[in-house]
Amino acid sequence: SLKEFQMLITIVLTISIFGASTFAIIAGQMQDPAELWKPAPPPFSLATVRRFLAAAWLCFILTIAIAGYSSSVVIILRQRAERFNEHTWHAHWDILGIASSILLHVLLVLAFLFLSLGLVAY
């Protein structure tokens, strides 16, 4: 179970690092969706698209932070257990691992949802 969580952390970090590169798009020049949709109104304005991309970026950054912190907590718990010859540390980690896994999944889904909403205007 611990190896699977460490594999999940690696995958989540990889996805989130690439997703966090959307910051360059937020700060860069973007075409106004109103120009693409003429004469009909676009589903979202340029300001709304930027907000969606910013929310996606924030979700990716939070995912990176939570993955890093939870990985650090695993290492600290394991080292402390080895020092005190404690074999029940997995019981403490199970609750934290499940909670952080759920949070990581929710943040990744939200990040891709916001990215998708930003693309709707184009």
Mean pLDDT score across all residues of the chain: 88
C-alpha to C-alpha distance for 80 and 72, rounded to whole angstroms: 12
Who has greater pLDDT, 100 or 87?
Answer: 100
Please report, as a single letter, which amino acid is at residue 7.
Answer: M
DSSP letter at 44?
S
Query: What percentage of the chain carries pLDDT values higher than 70?
Result: 96
Does the pLDDT at position 91 exceed 80? Answer: no
Provide the pLDDT for residue 89.
66
Domain that holds residue 95: 2-120
Residue 45 has a pLDDT of 94
pLDDT digits (tens, 9 = 90+) for 103-122: 999 999 999 999 999 999 88
| Number of structural domains the chain divides into | 1
Least confident of 3-12, 46-55, 81-90: 81-90
Q: What is the pLDDT of residue 26?
A: 78
For the segment 16-26, the average pLDDT, to the nearest whole number, is 85
- Reply yes or no on whether the pLDDT at 46 is more than 90: yes
Contacts of 58 (CB under 8 A, 6+ apart): none
Please give the structure tokens belonging to residue 68. Answer: 């890093």
What is the DSSP annotation of 74-118? HHHHHHHHHHTT-S-HHHHHHHHHHHHHHHHHHHHHHHHHHHHHH
